[in-house]
């Protein structure tokens, strides 16, 4: 290919944002928008097609790759938290301050809200085809679960709260392990590995609520669904259910991250620069 003038570089010279906060806001908003726009569309394809196309494995791998690429795109501009629980974990680590955490969470929640709006618009015809144009939150024509989580019938509020602590805790635990520099995982593999963590959680702790484990991905879309579905999205199955996927992930992430450090991270040696693992020589 001949080396010619690149239009993206020309535009970059004019439009580059140098303000750190604005850059973070744009990045986290855009990343979480992409994550939710893609992820909620996966849910739509699972629910509206009643398993003909997407099965549970598609939901698991689809969301996993949505994480992989949303993180990969935004890792260098904002660290790609894309999840208030992860931002809160970094806050407890002392990696970001309180104000910065609020910027992250605001951008993420706005991204989740608009991601839900995007999916509602995109699959408007498919939703109409499914429910005959009459929106229902749950039941046989219910479609609100495309956007926000609703618990299985057997699941109590306590069960839902615990579920979100455990699910987000495992996410935070393994994210902390993967990014710990002492574990020497190459940084270009971080995003793909996060995707694997999501597959794992979906196969193990997805039965009660569908593993939202991200307040921006649950509260943002739930707020949007007030418009098409009414305020019932905050009162089904109970007036306080929504608290579980909104607040339990924060607790879980802090718990999971510090648990990793308590059992493993604190005790790791600093890596020695080496080129080759020596072979044990027979005496």
16 within 8 A of 44, measured Cβ to Cβ: no
Does residue 139 interact with a second copy by CB under 8 A? no
Restricting to residues 241-270, which ones interact with a second copy according to CB under 8 A?
Answer: 258, 260-270
Question: Which of 102, 106, 145, 207 lies at the binding interface for a second copy (CB under 8 A)?
Answer: 207
Q: How far apart are CA 21 and CA 27, in angstroms?
A: 10
For the CB of residue 227, give the shortest distance to a second copy in the complex, in Å. 20
Does residue 282 interact with a second copy by CB under 8 A? yes
- Compute φ and ψ for 275, nearest 5 degrees: -100, -25
**Residue (139 or 186) nearer to a second copy, CB:** 186
**Residue (14 or 231) nearer to a second copy, CB:** 14
**Residue (52 or 231) nearer to a second copy, CB:** 52
Restricting to residues 223-242, which ones interact with a second copy according to CB under 8 A?
Answer: none
**Residue (232 or 237) nearer to a second copy, CB:** 237
**Residue (73 or 136) nearer to a second copy, CB:** 73
Q: Which residues of 146-156 are buried (b: 16+ CB within 10 A; e: fewer)?
A: bbbbbbeeebe
Q: Other CB atoms closer than 10 Å to residue 265's CB: what's the count?
A: 17
- Compute φ and ψ for 136, nearest 5 degrees: -130, 145
Which residue in 49, 79, 46, 77 sits closest to 61, CA to CA? 46
144 within 8 A of 233, measured Cβ to Cβ: yes
**Residue (189 or 226) nearer to a second copy, CB:** 189
Does residue 177 interact with a second copy by CB under 8 A? yes
Q: Please identify, among the stretches 12-20, 101-109, 135-143, 236-244, the one whose residues bind a second copy according to the rule CB under 8 A.
A: 12-20
Question: Which of 102, 126, 136, 243 lies at the binding interface for a second copy (CB under 8 A)?
Answer: 126
Does residue 73 interact with a second copy by CB under 8 A? yes
Judged by CB under 8 A, the number of residues near a second copy is 122
Question: Which of 110, 112, 155, 168 lies at the binding interface for a second copy (CB under 8 A)?
Answer: 155
| Radius of gyration of the CA atoms of the chain, in A | 21
Question: Which of 21, 128, 132, 240 lies at the binding interface for a second copy (CB under 8 A)?
Answer: 128
Q: How far apart are CA 78 and CA 104, in angstroms?
A: 9
Q: How far apart are CA 194 and CA 71, in angstroms?
A: 9
Does residue 41 interact with a second copy by CB under 8 A? yes
Which residue in 188, 186, 206 sits closest to 197, CA to CA? 206
**Residue (239 or 279) nearer to a second copy, CB:** 279
**Rounded (10°) angle between helices 157-179 and 190-204:** 150
198 within 8 A of 57, measured Cβ to Cβ: no
Does residue 55 interact with a second copy by CB under 8 A? yes
**Residue (207 or 232) nearer to a second copy, CB:** 207
For the CB of residue 140, give the shortest distance to a second copy in the complex, in Å. 15
């Amino acid at each position: 290919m001949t080396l010619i003038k690149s239009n993206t570089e020309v535009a970059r010279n004019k439009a580059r944002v140098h303000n750190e906060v604005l850059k973070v806001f744009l990045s986290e908003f855009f990343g979480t928008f992409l994550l939710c726009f893609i992820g909620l569309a996966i849910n739509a394809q699972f629910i509206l097609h009643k398993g003909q196309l997407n099965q549970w494995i598609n939901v698991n791998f689809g969301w996993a790759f949505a994480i992989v690429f949303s993180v990969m795109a935004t890792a260098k501009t904002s660290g790609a938290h894309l999840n208030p629980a992860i931002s809160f974990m970094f806050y407890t680590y002392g990696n970001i301050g309180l104000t910065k955490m609020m910027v992250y969470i605001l951008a993420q929640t706005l991204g989740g809200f608009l991601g839900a709006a995007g999916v509602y618009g995109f699959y408007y015809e498919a939703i109409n085809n499914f429910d005959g144009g009459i929106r229902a939150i749950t039941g046989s024509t219910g479609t609100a679960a495309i956007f926000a989580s609703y618990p299985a019938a057997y699941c109590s509020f306590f069960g839902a709260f615990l579920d979100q602590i455990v699910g987000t805790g495992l996410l935070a635990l393994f994210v902390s392990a993967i990014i710990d520099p002492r574990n020497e995982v190459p940084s270009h593999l971080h995003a793909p590995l996060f995707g694997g963590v999501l597959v794992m959680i979906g196969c193990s702790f997805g039965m009660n609520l569908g593993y939202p484990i991200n307040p921006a991905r649950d509260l943002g879309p739930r707020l949007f669904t007030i418009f098409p579905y009414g305020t019932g999205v905050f009162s089904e199955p109970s007036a306080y259910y929504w608290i579980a996927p909104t607040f339990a992930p924060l607790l879980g992430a802090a718990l999971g991250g510090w648990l990793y450090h308590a059992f493993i991270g604190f005790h790791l040696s600093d890596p020695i620069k080496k080129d080759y693992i020596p072979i044990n020589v027979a005496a």
